[in-house]
Structure 1
Amino acid sequence: MNPLPDLGFPSQIGGLDLHAVIRCGSTGSVHAAIDPQTGKTVVVKLLHRPPAMVVHDVVFNHPNIVQIFDHGCERGQHYVVMEYAPEGSLKGRLRSLQNLDTDTALSWIRQVLLALDHLHSYGMLHRDIKPDNLLFFPDDRLKVSDLGLMCPMRGSPPAPMGTPGFMSPEQIMGLPLDPRSDLFSLGVVFYRMVTGRFPFSGSSVSARLNATLLSSPPWPSHLQSTLSRSISQVIMCAISKRPSQRFADAKKFLMAIDEIGNAVMVK
């Protein structure tokens, strides 16, 4: 792995030598690095701004959440050190697939819901669920990553932040958030998985935001005739404009997809 060229990023932080730039996003840049103590590849995220809060490690202790090894601030640069995902992201998988089979989609959505249920049980919201932030590990294990926008449920409504096209209506409008906002974002991901397209699209940020607030996407089963009505109902429930019409929490969402999975097994 070659050292990082001079692109305005530090070449070293937290005792780690930064190498390849994996991606750059709204909250920071993600880099591959080598841990000199173990020789293993890790991921370092350089944050554009200080993290909104410091969270106890127990919040990240879940098999479907990317492990955090270290975090800190060095020479004014805030950073987080995380485990490396050797199998890439859901975004990468979806590039090569028009749409997924039902069993695979249900399995992956279920794993994300387990992670969200864990975060929500500690009073935390992710606020940026999207294919880029869902990473694969061996044995097809999917983990939620990039907790840079995570915030507590209670308190003043957070400033509108997230990714247009995935943000819930209440997130866009700067209203109080609860678990149903994360479930909306996951519903958007689910829609893309099984139809090959996003429910709220547009050629610009404002177009995607307006689509989320105003447009009514077609039912997934209208786009993919092989999809069952029950899967379409689950997805459309998750992406309802009004939080009151969505699943109340991740457990309810899990129950709904498990019922579909059981029905498929019976057939």
Structure 2
Amino acid sequence: MAAPSAPTHIGNYSIVEQIGTGASSDVYLALEEKKFASVAIKQLRKTCQSEPYRKLMANEVALVGKLEHKNIVRLLSAHLDDQSGPYVVMEYVKGVPLDRHQHGDTLLPVNTVISVVEQVAFALQYIAGQGVVHRDVKPENIILMPNGQAKLTDFGCAIPTGTAGEMVAGSLAYMSPEQLEGQPLDERADIYALGAVLYRLLCGRHTFEADSEFEARIAILNFPISPIVKHRQGLPPALVAVIDRALKKNKDERYADWSEFIRDLGEAAHVIRMSDYDVDLYRGFSMSTQSVLSRFMSTDRDFSRSGFSRSSMPDSFGA
């Protein structure tokens, strides 16, 4: 059943339910009439149908219509002059957006996080080769399917490489300094964003601590990121190094391209796979509990999480 606030029909599609909300649009699960095929429809909200928003959607169609990659949600058709409001029809992907796994008590296993980030990196490498910068890489725009495949979606902020777009757009927590300042962008802006996604999915925190949007902007432009070890212990140095380099404020100090990022992330993944150390030992625990675990581990390297789980922890450890 459609939600009370959702339309019952858009064009030749019957609306099943609303499944997402963006800065300027709503996303619905819909059925194409006669074919009964499931699709996702993204339509500009009535309050966001002015010319700048219409231009952004038209730009999305122009850039994304040519993209075909197994880790990118496909755009099937566009209807920019519909009376109810401009909308695009996309492949419906049954899965979970990764913002469901960006908090301390819902974090995914490290190997799953790396697999997802690797897949998205290949998708972003592909679009870079097509002359496109996504400009809004964040957990909400990555869908994890039950079979482990990841899909990158929402190209509403995408721009051609080497341009800045007509307005600064994207999500502040994942913006590179040059994107925040409205400079022309290349793939290094998306590398920064994916580094911030990797950071968030591993520790459940943003790369900076701020109480307001103003403080966040100051932090992005001027202050180093909060060291990930401050929030998550036990990660291999090789993986921490990948994150640190991807998040360099000076784009010339970041990875020069996706090939370098994918190479180093793959090497870090290999270190993790070959290690007999439980890299998920600290996942989901508070820092005070991680400190207790760390002290225990320093005296007993055979210790494993199976022998020290939340169910057996004394209250004094305060997870």
Question: How high is the TM-score relative to the length of structure 1?
Answer: 0.90
Q: In percent, how many aligned pairs have the same letter?
A: 29
- Do the aligned partners of 2:209 and 2:226 also contact (CA within 8 Å) in 1? no
1:263 and 2:271 equivalent? yes
The 5 A counterparts of 1:28-47 are 28-47=25-44
Name whichever of 206-215 and 251-260 sits farther off: 206-215
The 5 A counterparts of 1:20-169 are 20-47=17-44, 48=48, 49-50=53-54, 51-53=57-59, 54-55=61-62, 59-73=66-80, 74-75=82-83, 77-95=85-103, 97-155=105-163, 158-169=166-177
- Do the aligned partners of 2:71 and 2:149 also contact (CA within 8 Å) in 1? yes
Name whichever of 120-129 and 51-60 sits farther off: 51-60
Aligned-pair distance for 1:10? 4.6
Larger radius of gyration: 2
Distance in 2 of aligned mates of 1:205 and 1:129: 19
Distance in 2 of aligned mates of 1:162 and 1:17: 30
Distance in 2 of aligned mates of 1:36 and 1:163: 35
Question: Structure 1 residues 96, 240: CA separation in 2 closer, same or farther (over 3 Å shift)?
Answer: closer
Name whichever of 103-112 and 69-78 sits farther off: 69-78
Aligned-pair distance for 1:71? 1.2
Identify the residue that residue 251 of structure 1 maps to in structure 2.
Answer: 259
Structure 2, unpaired ranges of 5+: 276-319
Q: CA RMSD in A?
A: 2.1
Question: How high is the TM-score relative to the length of structure 2?
Answer: 0.76
- Do the aligned partners of 1:165 and 1:201 also contact (CA within 8 Å) in 2? no
Aligned-pair distance for 1:223? 2.7
Distance in 2 of aligned mates of 1:59 and 1:96: 38
Amino acid at match of 2:69: H
Amino acid at match of 1:143: K
SS class of match (1:138): coil
Identify the residue that residue 3 of structure 1 maps to in structure 2.
Answer: 2
- Do the aligned partners of 1:69 and 1:81 also contact (CA within 8 Å) in 2? yes
Distance in 1 of aligned mates of 2:256 and 2:203: 24
Amino acid at match of 2:177: P
Distance in 2 of aligned mates of 1:41 and 1:95: 30
Question: Structure 1 residues 57, 197: CA separation in 2 closer, same or farther (over 3 Å shift)?
Answer: closer
Aligned-pair distance for 1:130? 0.5
- Do the aligned partners of 1:52 and 1:150 also contact (CA within 8 Å) in 2? no
Aligned-pair distance for 1:94? 3.0
Question: Structure 1 residues 236, 63: CA separation in 2 closer, same or farther (over 3 Å shift)?
Answer: same
Distance in 2 of aligned mates of 1:148 and 1:163: 12
1:217 and 2:225 equivalent? yes
Following superposition, which runs of at least 4 residues in structure 1 exceed 6 angstroms of deviation? none
Amino acid at match of 2:18: V
1:190 and 2:189 equivalent? no
**Residues paired across the two proteins, number:** 264
Distance in 2 of aligned mates of 1:10 and 1:133: 23
Amino acid at match of 1:67: R
Distance in 2 of aligned mates of 1:149 and 1:155: 12
Question: Structure 1 residues 195, 228: CA separation in 2 closer, same or farther (over 3 Å shift)?
Answer: same
Question: Structure 1 residues 160, 183: CA separation in 2 closer, same or farther (over 3 Å shift)?
Answer: same
Name whichever of 86-95 and 110-119 sits farther off: 86-95
- Do the aligned partners of 2:102 and 2:201 also contact (CA within 8 Å) in 1? yes
